[in-house]
A and B are shown apart, each in its own frame.
Chain A
Amino acid sequence: MNRSTYIVVGVVVVLFLLSWILKAVSLSGEDHRYILHGFLITMSAFLTLAIFSFLYRDNPFYKFAEHLFVGVSAAFWMTQGFWSTIVGNLIPRLSAGFSEFFMVPHQPSPWNIAYWIPVILGILLLMRLSAKYGWLSRWPLALIVGTTAGLNFVRYLRSDFIVQVSSTFVPLLGREPHQWQGGGAFISHLDLSATGQLAALLTNWIIFLGVFCGIVYFFFSKEHTGVFGRASRVGIWVLMITFGASFGYTVMGRISLLVGRVTFLFRDWLELIS
């Protein structure tokens, strides 16, 4: 760290203290722990700016915020997991004794014995820390992967596959399904207004062809040449249009997040706007 760095750090520290004091003073009216809260608000403002400073370039403040964030969040999730899952979910099922120790209502049931299995598996998982019995940790993995794989197998077959297929059954000849009364009727019913039958049909056709070409693009076991190639080319075009569109669509959400932060800085910290 060279001299300029020290100066910058020094300035920031001074500003921090200044903000703390001012904040505490301004809070001292309404709440009695104003010193603590002054510090906390200043702290979160500091952290916010530290992260933003990353936009300029990597710097000690960002490093500080980053490392703090990692440590705190890791601990947060572990503590949460312990209390909510182990104590909240498992202990009451294991034994009355444990439940009393952890002061959670015991839930007796003939099936409770089954809850020792995850405990054993969990311990097996920890085995991976030992070089000798590490291989035991594969059993719990087997349970997790196996069950989820089985679940995914049917769930996606149903929701992503069958439903989506059946929903491509769109009318391409008439406004409503099941109403093909032959060419004459079709022509006579055709109206050309923007919301009319023709428009609806065109939409359906485009959707259908889009899906078709898209699926063609995802064919792996056939060379993309000739008609097939052209179809897959159209497919990738459709994909690109979609990606462009949803990119543009997302911008808005991201800006709102920024607004949220700026609001915090200006209203809660600097109190420049009400």
Chain B
Amino acid sequence: MSVSEKLMRLDRRWVFLLLIVVCVFTFYADFQIPILTEPESEAIYEFIDSLPPGDIVFIAIDYDPNAWAELHPMTFAIAEHCWRKNLRIIFTALSQNGPGMADQAIRDLSDSLKLDRVYNGVEFKGREIVRGVDYTFLGYKPYYALVILGMGQDFRLPFPTDYYGTPLDSLPMMKGVFNYDQVACVVSVSGGTIADAWVSYGQGRFGFPLFFGLTGVMTAQYYPFLGSGQVSGLMGGLLGAAQYEELADNPGRAKEGMRVQLLAHIVIIVFILLGNVGLFVSYRRKLKEGR
């Protein structure tokens, strides 16, 4: 078998092997890579950054643990940004296996908020994040479409109590907060079709500013909504998250993950190129033989 053919008919297991190697290697290698931000994620960052303290941001943690790797960084980056800006947050977890994970995430977040930090040159004092004051975690209810509709009437319809069983009325921050009208924007971090529901049942009916954090695979599918103005900004996959971390000057999981991403992408690109070189060479030979 000639070289060109070898290049074209490599056993795919070589690809697999190299990917694994790269992945493991990055765990031990220590290097940083710069991140280039894009307007889609900047839109979200700027919107949230421009909100006055005390405003309420609605963050829907709409994903199962299996989308954890990609979407957790977004949730963390945004929520931390909000709290550093003294915004208040309403969380939901409208995905079946989500609530436990979401609860844990919120705990981790409020721990990390205790530390003093400097973001983009601004000094942020660490503070205690208080449930019912800084955030309300509504939890999970089945049939997300109906839940989203219900919350348009009043959060208390689908969620008479929060995730921990406290009646919403007895939570300080929920005083005078009834439905989306009292919310500055909705950020749906979603790993599935719940995003559609947020567009057609949520934004479509109640017209709040809607932002998406999506898994890489979904992103392309949701650009039309960006174009038609139903969605005001979105973060796609780990890169989107990394961009937000870059914007918020809060390097975390996403930027960490981007290192593997970069090498893995290079591996794949190299293989694609090899294949095409092989193709090219064999064409050339065919042409020669043709003469």
Contact = CB atoms under 8 A, between A and B. Distances in A.
A–B direct contact (CB < 8 Å) = yes
A4 interface: no
A241 to B, nearest CB: 11
B265 interface: yes
B93 to A, nearest CB: 15
Interface of A: 55-56, 84, 155, 158-159, 163-164, 166-167, 207, 242, 245-246, 249-260, 262-263, 266, 273
Interface of B: 13, 16, 19-20, 23-24, 27-28, 66, 68-70, 142, 196, 199-200, 204, 215-217, 219-221, 224, 227-230, 236-239, 257, 260-261, 264-265, 268
B229 A266 contact: no
Given A159-B200, A164-B228, A259 B216 contact: no
B27 A249 contact: no
Q: Is the interface of A mostly helix, strand, loop or mixed?
A: helix
A251 B268 contact: yes
Contacts of B220: 242, 245-246, 249-250
Contacts of A266: 24, 27
Contact of A167 (B27, B229, B261, B265): B229
Given A55-B13, A159-B204, A253-B217, A262 B27 contact: yes
Contacts of A260: 68-69
B238 A252 contact: yes
Given A167-B228, A167-B229, A259-B23, A253 B215 contact: yes
The winner among A163, A166, A263 for most chain B CB atoms within 10 A is A163
A253 B260 CA distance: 12
B16 A259 contact: no
Nearest to B65: A260
A256 B238 contact: yes
Contacts of B261: 252, 255-256
Given A242-B220, A246-B217, 10 more contacts: A155-B200, A158-B204, A167-B224, A249-B216, A249-B219, A251-B216, A252-B237, A255-B264, A259-B69, A266-B27
